[in-house]
Structure 1
């Protein structure tokens, strides 16, 4: 069975992973600093650094991460010069996007971060709709904008050709910092969670990344997919209160904990609207003690209250993301994490050991009992030091359950 990974951060901010095919926690020694949070998906792992920066680790694979940049060169015919760059004032830019509305000169393209490199120089695309064009790649039309053809006709008054250049993501299997936006965010992040890969298969590798700031605001990372693993920008999501922690499942479940201990659920998440439409308020498991942590999977929600009690939410599914009620579970934990196939891990309150929930099945999602994971850290002979992990997430490598 293909291996899967369990991720963890210890109290010193070091990142470890435990493979279902391994016997010990492996330390990621190339980490540039200490980290506060880690969250993972099939193709990558995100982390929140102690410098409040967001870091991305894209796993190496046989399929390179490439992105195609393109721009169009536009010309108009006139009786003196023939086709030239001398356009009418009402025409599009000489160099533009496919619509002609955006100015896109060749020299205006920059790499989005130091994690990318150019594969080569710009070149003319000499194919049009699957057929070769003339050597210089021009396509012709009566006017802008209109339907283009590769054949030049007597009434072809304008022409355009597409220029292409590829860039490749080079920061594989290492922690690369996500560049900040042109304008800095108002306050640092305190929590992150990724998921959403089951919402749609197109575009390939699309993920949802949610973040919480120190002021209790929630942000959504736009544009994450296979050919753009860093995403494009952060968008603030309006809230009914101040959030302290958030969790995103592989599907359309997103839950968050409010400062006063209540919980909110994101509704309206679809293929075309991955960040959803609105929030629904859910009362916490205990009226006397508010929630402190929540974690969601495909069809389950687990929560921990401020007295370290563990709770399971029944009746949760895509049609009813809020569920129907809470069930008290045995055990005292400080954090909890739902992984593949709704399997559950947690960090013990007293011993800080990592626990696995045994007996979780499709027919019994709440499982049967907790079992401590006995695995030494990298370079250590005993398993006692494995008890200082304070935050863990799971990642699937080849769509298989984690087997520990």
Structure 2
């Protein structure tokens, strides 16, 4: 059976993992960083550090993460020099992308972050459409743009060849800062949640990462895939109010809590639109307002300001808003939904960790809370799963994933 991990952050900002195959909390050792939030997926864990930056921890595996960079060298024939880099003013650049629209010299390619390293230097690709070319890798055509062939003809006036270089992601089992160049968030981040891995199997390893800024704005991280675990850029998603917390499930469910205690649900999430199309406002389970929400595949749980726990009826991919709230026994300050819609929570009085018992496909709300106790690897004492917030008081952070 695959191992599942429960991630947590304590009041000192230290990140811990509790494995289904282990008996104690194991600390993720990184003495330079203190964290406020963590959110995990199958292949990685994201965290917000106390320096307000977002960090990524990609789990080590036998499957390497490598990315192919490419650029094209273009030349034109003339009677004096033969084929050379002397192009016409109307031609593309000497070095360009495949369409000839972007200037891409070899020295213009930089590593996205310190988490990457080059495997080797640039080399000319001597294969064209799965067949070997002549030495040098040149392909020929009448003009730019045109149909290229590997054979030189009497009317071949232009030629090009593809250059390749591979980079490998090296930051495994360590916290790597998400690069901010050209993709930084304008405000510090207070909450993050990742999910979406069940929306589509392609492209491989695609994730949805949602972030909430201290000003209550919501952002979506674009381009997270297996060969690009850090993603590429942030896109703001307008929200009808100020958001304080957000939760993203493995499928189409994304819920968020507004400052006033109401909740909003993201509609229109799917394979072709992973960030959705619109928000729908849902009333709080009680008059005191919600403080937290957690979603899974077919479940939504919420906690209100009086520490009451609520379960949302009728939630599924066709009806992400559900039909109504059911009050549950127990007082918690936070809930989190893990694999197979299993539920974890932190008690309001002693900050103890609880698991919801009896959660099945036919009874998603479960039957009762069971307290869990496990020592830390360093302290060998009972581990509360409470975490640090910006003020290091009551906020919490839990996340479950399959390793």
| TM-score bracket, shorter-length normalisation | over 0.9
Q: Tell me the CA shift for residue 184 of structure 1.
A: 4.5
Inter-CA distance 387–189: structure 2 relative to 1 (3 Å threshold): closer
SS of alignment partner, residue 107 of structure 1: helix
Cα pair 1:54 1:177 within 8 Å, conserved: yes
1:264 aligns with 2:284: no
Partner of 2:299: 300
| 1:329-383 superposed Cα distances (whole Å, 9 cap, x missing partner) | 1111111100000000011101100100000000000000000111111133342
1:278 to partner: Cα distance: 1.1
Aligned mates of 2:353, 2:156 — CA distance in 1: 70
Is residue 71–residue 96 contact of structure 1 (8 Å, CA) maintained in 2?
A: yes
Q: Distance in 1 between matches of 2:5 and 2:183?
A: 35
Instruction: Give, in whole Å, the separation in 2 of the partners of 1:32 and 1:202.
Output: 36
Q: Secondary structure at the match of 1:386?
A: coil
Give unmatched runs, 5+ long, in structure 2: 388-395
Report what 1:386 is aligned to.
384
Please give the alpha-carbon distance, in whole angstroms, between the structure 2 residues aligned to 1:352 and 1:105: 56
- 1:46 pairs with 2:52: no
CA distance in 2, matches of 1:31, 1:278: 41
Q: Which residue of 1 aligns with 2:131?
A: 131
The alpha-carbon distance between structure 1 residues 113 and 387, as it changes in their structure 2 partners (threshold 3 A), is closer
Q: Using the alignment, how far apart are the partners of 1:370 and 1:334 within structure 2?
A: 14
Q: Which residue of 2 aligns with 1:314?
A: 313
Given that residues 48 and 55 in structure 1 are in contact (C-alpha distance below 8 angstroms), is that contact kept between their aligned partners in structure 2? Answer: yes
Q: Does 1:16 align with 2:16?
A: yes
Q: Which residue of 2 aligns with 1:233?
A: 233
The answer as to whether partners of 1:31 and 1:174 remain within 8 angstroms in 2 is no
The corresponding residue for 1:401 is none
Mapping for residues 243-262 of structure 1, pairs under 5 Å: 243-262=243-262
**What is the SS of the residue equivalent to 1:182?**
coil
Structure 2 residue aligned with 1:402: none
Q: Which moved more, 1:253-262 or 1:81-90?
A: 81-90
The CA deviation at 1:53 is 0.4
Q: Is the CA contact 1:199–1:250 (under 8 Å) kept in the aligned structure 2?
A: yes
Alignment match, 1:373 = 372
Contact 1:140 1:160 survives alignment (8 Å): yes
Give the drift of 1:387.
5.5
* Distance (whole Å) between structure 1 residues aligned to residue 281 and residue 2 of structure 2: 39
The answer as to whether partners of 1:45 and 1:58 remain within 8 angstroms in 2 is yes
Provide the C-alpha distance between the structure 1 equivalents of 2:299 and 2:321, rounded to a whole number of angstroms: 10
User: Are 1:181 and 1:233, in contact at CA under 8 Å, matched by a contact in 2?
Assistant: no
Give how far 1:110 is off.
0.6
Change (3 A) 1:200 1:79: same
Q: Structure 1 unaligned segments of length 5 or more: list them.
A: 398-404
How far 1:306 moved relative to its partner? 0.9
Alpha-carbon distance between aligned partners in 2 of 1:150 and 1:387, rounded to the nearest angstrom: 62
RMSD value, Cα: 1.2
Contact 2:189 2:211 (8 Å CA) reproduced: yes
How many residues in Structure 1 have an aligned counterpart in Structure 2?
Answer: 395
Provide the secondary structure at the position in 1 that maps to 2:384: helix
How do residues 3-402 of structure 1 correspond to structure 2 at under 5 angstroms? 3-182=3-182, 184-286=184-286, 288-383=287-382, 385-386=383-384, 388-389=386-387, 390-397=396-403
